[in-house]
Structure 1
Amino acid sequence: MLLSCKNNSTNVDTDNNNGSNTGENNNNGNNGENNNDPTVTPEELEKYGIEIDSATTENIEKALNQYYQDKGEYKVIFK
């Protein structure tokens, strides 16, 4: 939540689309992934997947380290 106490006396247009709403996503495909294919294979899900209901700091860290050792990058997979 962001709060501001500043008094703006001018009307500033903060629309970066210059009035056009095309519905396009302008993040250029950057969703936090280093690769272009965020698909999780069944093998990855089985080997690295963590049950959301039982996720703990310890088992998340273990899965992260195992994925890094095998793949050379960090990735958390929840099932």
Structure 2
Amino acid sequence: AGATGAPPAERNLPVSLAPRELDVLTCIASGATNAAAAELLGLRPETVKGYLRSSMRKLGAHTRLEAVVAARREGLLP
């Protein structure tokens, strides 16, 4: 049995996030709620949630904090 189904975090591939996913994570990293991030970015809160979910999936994160830590580890956030 091979490890072809390894989760993204175990494949050592670079993570690529869309610009809006990075915008949302930047807001979250600064402590913003989804509603505050939506207001800052001119988006609906549901849209922010979607970008956050997508970035969490790409980063292999289960929580907002894990997503921010993973994005920093990948060099995507300062």
- TM-score, with structure 1 as normaliser: 0.30
Name which structure has the greater RCO, CA cutoff 8 Å, separation 6+. Answer: 2
Between Structure 1 and Structure 2, the one with more helix by share is 2
The structure in which a higher percent of residues are strand is 1
